[in-house]
Amino acid sequence: MICFKIEKQVVLIYLWLWWNTTVNATNDSLKPGDTLKYKSKLCSKQGKFCLYFNRTLDSEDAHLFIGVNADYGKVVWMHDRNHSIDLNSAVLSLDFSGVLKIESQDRNLPIIVYSSPQPINNTLATMLDTGNFVLQQLHPNGTKSTLWQSFDYPTATLIPTMKLGVNRKTGHNWSLISWLAPSLPNSGGFSLEWEPKDGELNIKQRGKVYWKSGKRRSNGLFENIPVKVQRVYQYIIVSTKDEDSFTFEIKDQNYKMFPGWELFSTGMLTSTEGEIANADKCYGYNSDGGCQNWEDMPTCREPGEVFQKKTGRPNTDSATIQDNVSYGYSDCKLSCWRNCNCNGFQEFYRNGTGCIFYSSNSMQDVDLEYPNIYNVMVKPTLNHHGKSNIIFLFFR
């Protein structure tokens, strides 16, 4: 917990620097026959966003990114997050038939970003100042029509005018999907979705609703999101025969901070203004802050039980391992919560995937000589009024 707060402060400092750095963009578009190679960038006219190839944090995996400004920009989008490419040989190209594709030496076949049913030679791929990368067809009368856009494929960050919801004409859904782990961009367990019927934002874990924003009040703000976090946003909600969607814009055009919402692998949704929601605090028995009650609560768990992070050395004599690399923190937590014999867990691999589960009698006292961080189930204690109290202990 302490580590996250420190990391968040550092990230916000960097975001401020990136957002306020001037980038001299010389070209914002790819024409038929143009290519974008490793160490090159395609930046929007005002230099707010750039398209480039790079590796993810603490990983050799490489992807095509859109980031805020140049060099060390905040990632707001990536293509095909579940499959990496060879960074040194990666090339993005737009050919004379309107095919937008990525090629690299580690793949026999190109990665097709977009291919038209019929060849089109009058196309243009442009990085916009909104953060949207669009492929458009140019018509003789001077108009343009969008063939493909990155905004239709969000990753874990929502930026102004990017939508959540559904396109009723095509059936295409827009939603955020968290990273699997802090340094692993593969699709994770949490999603942020727009529920048009109730007019609410939902955070789900593998399809189960953990958190709801609540409905909008008469002041236009959502019930379960702190007012101070919402003060800079203007919500735009569309409900027509063609689409049901949610997006936002920034009220102040001179706003200097990074304006995006980011969904973390733990289920926390944050913005520069502060925490929007935290599904990690939702256990199925509590409804505070927008958390949702579950009908399938484990019979062995009781209200007030939570996981605490501790530093030390757990007893591994009765530990069990789930070595599935598709399991992230939230999957380990839910599996332990549902298992009445599980009293704690930690990630198995260094990249934050897989699980180690500890039985109810396996926890030893904290030993600071062994600085492993694991999550321990803590039962509620009763105060002198007979009510539950939870005492949180955190170790640096």
Q: Which of 133, 161, 131 is nearest to 146 (CA)?
A: 133
Residue with the bigger pLDDT between 26 and 53: it is 53
Write down all domains in the chain, each with its CATH number in brackets.
2-281 (2.90.10.10), 298-389 (no CATH)
Q: How high is the pLDDT of residue 201?
A: 98
**Percent residues over pLDDT 90 in the chain:** 69
Place of tokens 């500890």: 358
Residue-wise pLDDT tens digits, 97-111: 999 999 998 888 999
| pLDDT surpasses 70 at 394 | no
Q: In the predicted model, is pLDDT for residue 395 greater than 70?
A: no
Q: Whats the size of the chain, residue-wise?
A: 396
Residues 6+ apart with CB under 8 A from 311: 366, 368, 371, 372, 373, 395, 396
Q: Decide which of 179 and 26 is more confident.
A: 179
Q: What is the pLDDT of residue 166?
A: 97
- Lowest average pLDDT, out of 68-82, 330-344, 353-367, goes to 353-367
Distant-in-sequence, close-in-space partners of 117: CB < 8 Å, separation ≥ 6: none
Report the pLDDT averaged over residues 297-326: 88
Which residues on neighbouring strands pair with residue 358, listed in sequence order?
A: 344
| Residue 22 reports pLDDT greater than 70 | no
- Residue type, position 247, single letter: T
Q: Are 235 and 248 in contact (CB under 8 A)?
A: yes
Cβ-in-10-Å burial (0-12, 13-18, 19+) of 132 comes to buried
DSSP string, 320-363: EEE--TT--HHHHHHHHHH-TTEEEEEESSTTS-SEEEEETT-P
pLDDT at 262: 96
Give tens-digit pLDDT for 239-271.
999 999 999 999 998 888 888 999 999 999 999
Q: How far apart are CA 23 and CA 196, in angstroms?
A: 39
pLDDT value, residue 52: 94
* Cβ pair 181, 187 in contact under 8 A: no
Listing DSSP states for 254-279 in one string gives T--S---EEE-TTSEEEETTEEEEEG
Average pLDDT over residues 371-381: 77
d(CA 260, CA 250): 10
* pLDDT above 80 (res 3): no
d(CA 161, CA 288) in angstroms, rounded, equals 30
Q: What local confidence, expressed as pLDDT, does residue 310 receive? A: 83
Per DSSP, helices labelled H in the chain are: 2-19, 227-230, 329-338
| pLDDT band of 330, cuts 50, 70, 90 | very high
Question: Does residue 42 surpass a pLDDT of 90?
Answer: yes
